[in-house]
Amino acid sequence: MSYRRKTVVGFTRSNATTVRWLFFAAVVLVICVGAWLGSLFFNSIGKATADSGKNSLLSIFSSKIQGEAEGRTNILILGQGGDNHPGGNLTDTIEVMSIDWTDKKVAMISLPRDLWVQIPGGGYTKINGIEYYGGLNSKKTGLSGGKAISQTVSQVLGIPIQYYVEIDFTGFKEIVDKLGGVDIYVDKAISDPFYPAADMIHYDPFYITVGWHHMDGALALKYSRSRETTSDFDRARRQQQVIAAIKTKLASAQTLANPLKITDLLGIVGNRIKTDFSAGEIKSLWDKIQGIDQANAISYVFDTNPQGPLVATQDERGYIIIPRKGIGKYDDLQYIAKNIFVLTPDQINQGYTLSPAAQAEIKPKASPSPSIAVVKPKIEILNASNTKDAAVKLATTLETQGYNILSNGNTNDSYRQTTVFSCDNSLNINTLQIAKTLASQLKAVAKSKSSCSGYDIQIIIGQSGT
């Protein structure tokens, strides 16, 4: 008995073989793409989570989130200028995202960057300088910069900080752009003619009206950073808005279903973000936070309103903020942070008494530079020494003291001694006095220049150092 192979019109053996090969190729492609994404994931997450001290590949199998068993996890969110930005080592944004696992709530708490605090390892500075000084003292304290500021914020608020996440300005803009922008409702118009341009010399005026705005990365960064015509506290509230909008966009189906977008975002994570989360903890947090009520997040900004626990002062330390009970006395801040999920606005703003210790701190003090926090001459710093990053380090130090650092860099000019130049063509009435103060502070030679472009004072670090 003989059989004939049945042939279906339009579907020959040759075609069937081709389809099988195409199917096989598609499967291989999916596997390769998956492996590539997986490799990219572990490479990117590995770089970002280096401060966790945990192996990224092995930690992916761990789903335990610190603080979850106790009912609350607190994540410190930090923003920095980053490379090529004056004062790029200073922390521009200090937010704590607190998750209440029991009642499925989330709160955002902002601390002012001018809060006067103790440096791990000794000394005092504004809290925005803690990460920088913490890094310098790491051999002494055993803490990285991120761990140092986490410890400080924990001491200020009286709550454990289980994790920190830090991103620089470039990474912030790149993430917003890769997400296709974010939608923000502006409830207060902003007119800021003094917003700094990219060269940090000229201005790039920023204006925005009340209403809904679709913002790209550059606009979202301006909206988050502008403060000249508002305040640091208004800025903190806007930063909370933008963070919430980014979080919503990241969790959207439009983002999660786009492999190319995820790939680009992973690249940014690896290059622009630092954290002490492990890969497994990131995955677990992502899964579990979906059940948290993020739409009704509680927001609180510690500011210097008359009913709040903080007060501002200005002296030789520059513009600083201290507790009403006195430096280092954080009881009132801790009461608010610990009870943020149950306190009403009236209970939070109950009015706090100014202690004699704090009153003594805010009395006018004799200052060698009484006006640096009011009318600030623009300062350029150049490194003519053989010490790497000397200009960057001095810029960071002076900015924590309230000086207006315009730019820093290197010069090939030869200077044996550090020299402070005051500019004769400066229109700032404080230039000469501030220049003399800096020369004394840095044990430098004081000179003048007949003409300067874009700055009022120039500091050149010589071979003798500072």
DSSP class per residue in 204-257: --EEE-SEEEEE-HHHHHHHHH--TTS-HHHHHHHHHHHHHHHHHHHTSHHHHT
Q: Given pLDDT bands bounded at 50, 70 and 90, which one contains residue 321?
A: very high
Cβ neighbours of 377 (radius 10 Å): 26
**pLDDT of 50 higher than 70:** no
Most confident of 37-41, 213-217, 421-425: 213-217
The C-alpha angle with vertex 130 and arms to 206 and 230, in degrees rounded to 5, equals 25
The pLDDT of residue 369: 39
Name the residue among 413, 407, 404 with its Cα closest to residue 392.
407
Which of helix, strand or coil describes residue 302? coil
**pLDDT of 322 higher than 80:** yes
**pLDDT of 214 higher than 60:** yes
Distance CA 126, CA 121 (A): 15
Question: Which region among 78-82, 107-111, 367-371, 423-427 has the lowest average model confidence (pLDDT)?
Answer: 367-371
Burial of 363 (0-12, 13-18, 19+ CB in 10 A): exposed
The pLDDT of residue 229: 60
**pLDDT of 400 higher than 50:** yes
Q: What is the mean pLDDT of residues 395-402?
A: 85
Q: Which residue has the higher pLDDT, 420 or 283?
A: 420
Q: Given pLDDT bands bounded at 50, 70 and 90, which one contains residue 431?
A: confident
Q: What is the mean pLDDT of residues 83-108?
A: 83
- Structural domains of the chain in order of their starting residue, each with its CATH number: 72-303 (3.40.630.190), 378-461 (3.30.70.2390)
> Which long-range contacts link 242-248 to residues 24+ away (Cβ below 8 Å)?
242/182, 242/184, 242/215, 243/77, 243/95, 243/97, 243/108, 244/108, 244/294, 244/297, 245/182, 245/183, 245/184, 246/175, 246/176, 246/179, 246/182, 247/294, 248/182, 248/294
The pLDDT of residue 200: 58
Structure tokens at 79: 């923003």
Distance CA 121, CA 283 (A): 34
**pLDDT of 16 higher than 90:** no
Tell me the average pLDDT of the chain.
78
Q: Given pLDDT bands bounded at 50, 70 and 90, which one contains residue 53?
A: low
The pLDDT of residue 109: 93
Question: Which region among 130-139, 164-173, 328-337, 387-396 has the lowest average model confidence (pLDDT)?
Answer: 130-139
Q: Given pLDDT bands bounded at 50, 70 and 90, which one contains residue 34?
A: very low
Structure tokens at 251: 């969790």
**pLDDT of 40 higher than 50:** no
Most confident of 52-61, 193-202, 317-326: 317-326
How many residues would you count in the chain? 466
Cβ neighbours of 313 (radius 10 Å): 19
**pLDDT of 220 higher than 80:** yes
Name the residue among 455, 383, 395, 461 with its Cα closest to residue 422.
455
The pLDDT of residue 255: 66
**pLDDT of 157 higher than 90:** yes
Distance CA 350, CA 335 (A): 12
The pLDDT of residue 51: 53
Q: Looking at 273-326, list the stretches that DSSP marks H as alpha helix, in order from N- to C-terminal side.
A: 279-289
130-162 in b/e form (b: 16+ CB < 10 A) is bbbbbbbbbeebebbbbbbbbbbbbbbbebebb
**pLDDT of 337 higher than 60:** yes
Cβ neighbours of 188 (radius 10 Å): 11
Q: What is the mean pLDDT of residues 224-249?
A: 79
Residue the block writes with tokens 């900080």: 161
Q: Given pLDDT bands bounded at 50, 70 and 90, which one contains residue 348?
A: confident
The pLDDT of residue 454: 79
For 237-272, the pLDDT digits (tens) are: 888 888 888 888 877 757 666 666 766 777 777 777
The pLDDT of residue 210: 92
Structure tokens at 240: 């909370």
Most confident of 21-25, 141-145, 391-395: 391-395
Distance CA 49, CA 283 (A): 12
Q: Beta strand pairing status for 457-461 and 378-383?
A: parallel
Q: What is the mean pLDDT of residues 15-35?
A: 44
Any bridge partners for residue 214, and if so which?
Answer: 183
Distance CA 131, CA 8 (A): 72
Q: What is the mean pLDDT of residues 96-103?
A: 93
The pLDDT of residue 257: 63
pTM over 0.85, yes/no: no
Q: Given pLDDT bands bounded at 50, 70 and 90, which one contains residue 216?
A: very high
Which of helix, strand or coil describes residue 150? helix
% of the chain surpassing 70 pLDDT: 77
For 186-195, the pLDDT digits (tens) are: 988 888 887 8
The pLDDT of residue 48: 52
Which of helix, strand or coil describes residue 409? strand
Residue the block writes with tokens 């510690």: 302
The pLDDT of residue 230: 63
Q: What is the mean pLDDT of residues 408-415?
A: 87
Distance CA 324, CA 359 (A): 8
The C-alpha angle with vertex 268 and arms to 266 and 273, in degrees rounded to 5, equals 105
Cβ neighbours of 344 (radius 10 Å): 8
The pLDDT of residue 183: 93
Integer angstrom CA distances of residue 396 from 41, 107, 114, 346: 34, 31, 14, 39
